[in-house]
Structure 1
Amino acid sequence: MADALRARILSGTLRPGSRLPTQQELAVEFDTNRTAVRQAIDTLRREGLLTGTGRGAPPSVAEHARGHEAPRKADIELADRLHEAFRAEHVTIDVFSLTTETLNTALAHATIAISSGELSPRSITARVLLPGTEADLALPRPVSDPEGNDKRPLERLHELTHTFADALRRQLETLKVRDLVPEVSVEFRTVPITPTHKVYLLNGTEALFGYYQVMRHKVPYRGEEMEIHDVMGIRAKLFRHASGPDLHGEHGTAFVDETRRWFESLWSSIAQPLTLG
């Protein structure tokens, strides 16, 4: 429910200042109970997409819910920009990241819009660069083993990488299987590099850039708990640069062009194909 309402807000179907339907109306629409409705609304409030009104009245869409210029959380910003990118007839997505977790989440909003007929691209081409499974990456690694001799965190990362990448491939290819998008191409390659940042290039005209920050946390793995130094991509903030006069002018155009050249240089040189099961 939160995903569906978020998609309506980010697409402009629910405009800034407009009220949501009542909890009863939402419960009927989504065939659920009011507890689930309140949880979905609370999620969107925490994301800054809704504002409370008090006295039990439905919340309103925040005035800043669209058209942000300040950097936002990666999943929210990427979902918004992907929705706009999918208005093009031929969509291209080039990605450099640690995993595709953020992209998987953000794509859900665009695929909902395609399923409803709101968006109708004729082709989608996605190219994704990920860290190679053979690389001795600097992160993640155990807090208790700064030398990185314990390979379990890397093994866990590689398993997550394959899981998310396979889910992304299936998510996009399903659009073709359902005859919603005539042409879909998804290709993964790996590079022996520890990502310190993430990049999304949309339609060759827009670049979203965010830094990974190293965090210390505990994760379960094969029945045990590990405390590791890791990075959190969904929490990263994305900075948007676009070609043309609409955003940052010549600076934006230069940033997008240079980022595209950087991506192509990796893709066409040391990158190796990633085979998914």
Structure 2
Amino acid sequence: MTEKSAPPNGRPPHEVVAATLRERIRAGDLTEGTRLPTQKHLVSEFDVNRTVVRQALETLKREGFLTDTGRGAPPTVAVPATQSEAPQTSGTELSERLYEAFRAKHVTIDSFSLTTETFNSALSGARLGVFDRELTPESVTVRVIVPSPTARLAIPRLIDDPDDPRVVERLHELQRTWTNALRLSLEGLRDRGHIAEVSCEIRTVAATPLHKLYLLNRTEALMGYYRVLEQQVTHQGEQLDIFDVLGIDANLYRSSAGPDCRDEQEASFVKDSQQWFNSLWDHISEPFPAN
């Protein structure tokens, strides 16, 4: 593999080198306290240039797999402190990951959810980062899929009468409110001159979302289940007892195909999730109605 050749899975060469060394450390092939092979050795082994090796080593140092022992000496293998794998709520996790995603030169975000309320709330941190010039992407491309207004959905619905149209009407009002807010929020970044290219397209599918999915820069997937609950809501002055879903407080589970990818199964989940979203978008989605 060279810097100019196509690396496995289309990943940048330094990510491939970092992933290989990371796996050797986890497997015990490179034990804690031992010296890593020299950069010259790694350049030869992976058939890359020294810059690629340095980038890979810097990645592993940030993750805690290596300690920098000084100039001229190979770093020492370390075992990073165990990081919490506990999922966070949608609002917290998505906000943090969106901020990191906006560090990319070209940002892509795909969202599959019920209304985009969580997406809207979580985007505020990244928007502030753009306004403060801490985040400087050149383009942002967003694709959103929500349920079709014409679909018969399993949830939400009135507890005593599944066919009562008021619950569906309320859902459609929420969809229009949040999708319009999302579009205006993103387009505002372009209109104010912060980002040169911004695209936000909303489409629908005739299906009930039982989970939410966010795909960031095609290297990260955040997925969470919609848990059904009983809830009282207000619609046009009326109190309605409905079966609804836990949205913004639902847990999100993160998978990565990037530098911090743990194994091929995790990378495959991200890849398959992206292909699943693309299949909906390309084959059965329809434009979100204007009114």
| Alignment match, 1:237 | 251
**Structure 1 vs Structure 2: percent identity of aligned residues?**
50
Q: What is the Cα deviation at residue 248 of structure 1?
A: 2.4
C-alpha RMSD of the superposition: 1.1
Which of 210, 213, 236 is matched with 1:196 structurally? 210
Alignment-mate amino acid for residue 216 of structure 1: E
| Alignment match, 1:263 | 277
Q: Is the aligned partner of 1:110 residue 2:141?
A: no
Q: What is the Cα deviation at residue 131 of structure 1?
A: 0.1
Q: Give the TM-score taking structure 1 as reference length.
A: 0.74
Which of 216, 223, 233 is matched with 1:209 structurally? 223
3-state SS of 2:268 partner: helix
* Correspondences of 1:117-128 after superposition (within 5 Å): 117-128=133-144
| Alignment match, 1:91 | 107
Cα separation, 1, equivalents of 2:116 and 2:84: 24
3-state SS of 1:144 partner: coil
Q: Give the TM-score taking structure 2 as reference length.
A: 0.70
Cα separation, 1, equivalents of 2:152 and 2:256: 34
| Alignment match, 2:58 | none
3-state SS of 1:165 partner: helix
Cα separation, 2, equivalents of 1:115 and 1:255: 33
Q: What is the Cα deviation at residue 149 of structure 1?
A: 1.7
Q: What is the Cα deviation at residue 151 of structure 1?
A: 1.1
4+ residue runs over 4 A deviation:
none
Contact 2:149 / 2:172 at 8 angstroms: preserved in 1?
A: yes
* Correspondences of 1:15-34 after superposition (within 5 Å): none
Q: What is the Cα deviation at residue 247 of structure 1?
A: 3.0
* Correspondences of 1:29-178 after superposition (within 5 Å): 69-145=85-161, 148-178=162-192
Structure 2 unaligned segments of length 5 or more: list them.
1-82
Q: Which has the larger radius of gyration?
A: 2
Alignment-mate amino acid for residue 69 of structure 1: E
Contact 2:157 / 2:244 at 8 angstroms: preserved in 1?
A: yes
Aligned length: 209
Cα separation, 2, equivalents of 1:68 and 1:102: 23
Cα separation, 2, equivalents of 1:192 and 1:211: 19
Contact 1:101 / 1:164 at 8 angstroms: preserved in 2?
A: yes
Q: What is the Cα deviation at residue 97 of structure 1?
A: 0.3
Q: What is the Cα deviation at residue 251 of structure 1?
A: 1.3
Contact 1:244 / 1:250 at 8 angstroms: preserved in 2?
A: no
